Structure 1
Amino acid sequence: MSKLLDYLNTLDKDAAAREAHANDPKGAMDQFGLSDEEQSAFMSGDKTKLAQHLGIGEDDLPSIQVTETSYE
């Protein structure tokens, strides 16, 4: 399983992780160990780009809701 998929699953199941991500997306993703490329794919909200990183089809992803895209 990819680190990015692990992160998405963690956000789905862990309220504290969601709060940490909401408060500091870059910091939360860095602490989790996501690469810059994985972070960029996630924060882009681009289903195609994200699916490619996860190794799945775009149609297998639910809608992506990104509220903050400037995390630098």
Structure 2
Amino acid sequence: MSKLLEYLNTLDKDADALTSHRSDPGAAMTNFGLTAEEQSAVLSGDKAAVAGIVGISADELPAIDSIETTPNP
């Protein structure tokens, strides 16, 4: 399994990992061992880019938890 896919699965299953990712995604991804290219794809929120890296169809990926923004009230 690719390191990126492993990371995404970890975020899906581990609340502490997701909290860490949301708090400082760059540090969380670096600590997990993701490459700069993998990190950039995740931060972009571009499912096609992430899918291309892990070698699957974008339809097979759930929504990507990229940097969240606060919605306007």
> TM above 0.5, one fold?
yes
Please report the TM-score for the alignment, with normalisation by the length of structure 2: 0.85
Structure-2 separation of matches of 1:52 and 1:14? 24
Please report the TM-score for the alignment, with normalisation by the length of structure 1: 0.86
Structure-1 separation of matches of 2:63 and 2:25? 19
Determine helix, strand or coil for the equivalent of 2:63. Answer: coil
Residue 63 of structure 1, CA deviation: 2.5
Structure-2 separation of matches of 1:36 and 1:5? 15
Query: Pairwise mapping of residues 1-72 of structure 1 onto structure 2 (< 5 A)?
Result: 1-66=1-66, 67=68
Q: Percent identity between the aligned chains?
A: 57
Q: Which amino acid aligns with 1:44?
A: S
Determine helix, strand or coil for the equivalent of 1:38. Answer: helix
Greater than 6 Å deviation, 4+ residue runs? none
Say how many residue pairs are matched.
68
Report the aligned-residue RMSD: 1.2
Q: Which has the higher contact order (CA 8 A, sep 6+)?
A: 1
Deviations 1:4-37 (A, max 9, x none): 0010011011111011111111111010000000
**Conservation of the 8 A alpha-carbon contact between 2:42 and 2:65:** no
**Conservation of the 8 A alpha-carbon contact between 2:5 and 2:54:** yes
